[in-house]
Structure 1
Amino acid sequence: MKEKIKGFIYGCVVTSLITGSVAYAANPTSIEVYFKDLKYKIDGLDKTPSEGQGFIYEGTTYVPLRFIGESLGKNVEWDGDTETIWVGKREGRFTGLTSLKYARTDGEVWTDEKPGTIEIAGTKYKNGIRAMVKNSSSSDGKASIDYNLNGNYKRLTALVGMDDASRNVKALGIIKVIGDGKELKVISKLIGGDNPINVDVDVTGVLKLQIVFEVDYDKNYNWAEILWVDFLEPKLFE
């Protein structure tokens, strides 16, 4: 027999969506649900929640998030201060680099692309810094963007790579992370069509951060080629 639960406070329950769309309420909302004796198989193995049960609401199946996460070998944590659910590695609090107001740019650099329009190796990304670089009479094959960090951060992470707009060019891309005039990280030989590379840089005490985008040409490359190089999902950790 189904156990009918009334006055269930949806806003206080952490669940994981299995199928269908998410039902969301900005404020706590009372709903009426029916718990069901659901069976779970994770990678072919039978699994049973140690606490809590799944239920179906308006055609969508919900199950305890902690049960699913830990069954897949992922730690699940709840941060009450920020009302954030962490599944797997917990990064800590961070500030998106592109949410800061940049100090200056030199060359063709953009931070205001529409979310999901920056693409590397067929994957679209929410935000980032996109630069166009080329070698010509009016350009030295370089572009850059500066931020005033004022020593407030310790770590910078990002994904870097050649934008799909340049996936067929022969020239290679270079990205340099510079702190207070000193090279902190150089990522070279970026090739169109390759997956992005993870970057993790110590920026402890850095007052001024500069991201430099360059083109790496040799005699076999077409000097008229234009490269689009991306610095994606950049995060600053305190």
Structure 2
Amino acid sequence: MMANLFSVFEPSSSIFNLSMNWISTILGFLFFPYLYWASPSRSSMLWSKVTSTLHKEFKALLTTSHIGSSVMFISLFSFIVFNNFLGLLPYIFTSSSHMVMTLSLSLPLWITLMIFGWINHTQHMFAHLVPQGTPFILMPFMVLIETISNFIRPGTLAVRLAANMIAGHLLLTLLGNTGPSLTLSILSILIFSQVLLLVLESAVAIIQSYVFAVLSTLYTSEIN
């Protein structure tokens, strides 16, 4: 019987019927405490530069004047990018490739924004359903389209992140499974292609984290 192709992504390791693979989700937090007591290194200075750049960009995108409003999205970016990179290491479970994980990030954020927007900016939320300059006859259709577009936002955020992360891992797994049956010359080409794919996956890990955080920031700016 042929095994399920996606079985390699299942959180199968368990102790007392509790999946232990999900513990990899919190491994990223282990990198932060040393920043408070260790002397600054090149990696910590680089990360500080990254967070400073993200703060300036998110602050420009956010229309709210609340101090520190960009910290939440910088933390969201950091959490996702650490999980994406940890998933590239051997024998570490990629939690960000599962909808359970991605929906747990996007759905509470979207629900919170909707509750805050409809309670505090009700008139603005109604006005947002009809874009400026829409002909009167098209207004009912635009309200329907905007409503559907609004409701699918958490799903698109979750699916985009999970699909992009699992696609590259699946390709790496498929190519890696062909290794034992190849000759030495073809195997060297396979290893070189795997290294290139790993570099590509590293770029995807950063890009998808950035896209998730930026889209969340844009959705937040729409309710103010």
**TM-score w.r.t. structure 2 length?**
0.26
**TM-score w.r.t. structure 1 length?**
0.25
Higher RCO (C-alpha under 8 Å, 6+ residues apart): 2
> Which protein is bigger by CA-based radius of gyration?
1
Answer 1 or 2: which has greater strand percent. Answer: 1
